[in-house]
Amino acid sequence: MSDFVGIVIVSHSPNVAKGTADMVREMVGDEVKVAYCGGNADGGLGTDVAAIHGAIDSVFGAQGVAVLVDLGGAETNSEMAIEMMDEERQKAIVICNAPIVEGAVMAATEAAGGGSLDEVRATAEEFLS
């Protein structure tokens, strides 16, 4: 289903990442593709560029991907993962400046309504405004 913007959730904690994705699926439904990753290679707190890259890749479609992150390193590592994508793809991936849980639900709701990548990002970022 590449008709909808895909959502990627990147948290330092695997449990937060999975919980956020579960919440999105339960509240918004299954039509929007949601991928998540959290924790470092040893299973501790952290974020892993390879895992983020894989998560983005798994939901990438014609409408692009919105990424929701938690603290510092999650954003830095997500930027790195995006830069490792094909240049064409990079243009269709955005990191939303929004709280991870609320932003993910808002982004997915907008995506499920057929919103464009810009609209999805705006809806996620609007939450705090």
Partner 1 sequence: MEPETIKALIRRTHEVILAHAEELTDLDQAIGDGDHGINMKRGFDAIAAAADAIAELPCGKALEKAGMTLVMSVGGASGPLYGSLLMAMGKAMPEAPDSVGDIAKAFQAGVEAVMKRGKSEGGEKTMLEVLLPVATSLKDAGALDIGVLRKTADAGLASTKDMKATKGRASFLGERSIGHLDPGARSSALLIHAVCDVIEGK
Partner 2 sequence: MSELPAESSDAKEALASGAATIQDPTGLHARPAVKLTKLAKAHDATIEIRAGEEGKWVNAKSPNAVMKLKAGSGEILFVRAQGAQADEAVKALVALIERDFEAE
State which of residues 20, 33, 36, 39 lies at the interface with partner 1 (CB under 8 A). 39
Look-up: residue for tokens 């409408």?
A: 63
Among positions 4-43, residues that touch partner 2 (CB under 8 A) are 26-29
Q: Calculate the alpha carbon distances from 4 to 37, 71, 72, 74, 117 in Å.
A: 20, 26, 28, 24, 9
Look at residue 126 and give the partner it binds from partner 1, partner 2, none, a contact being a CB closer than 5 to 8 Å depending on partner kind: partner 2
* 34-38/65-69 β-pairing: unpaired
From the list 7, 12, 17, 33, the catalytic residue is: 12
Do 127 and 98 meet the contact criterion of CB atoms below 8 Å apart? yes
Look at residue 110 and give the partner it binds from partner 1, partner 2, none, a contact being a CB closer than 5 to 8 Å depending on partner kind: partner 2
Residues making contact with partner 2 (CB under 8 A):
26-29, 105-106, 109-110, 112-115, 123, 126-127
* Residues involved in catalysis: 12
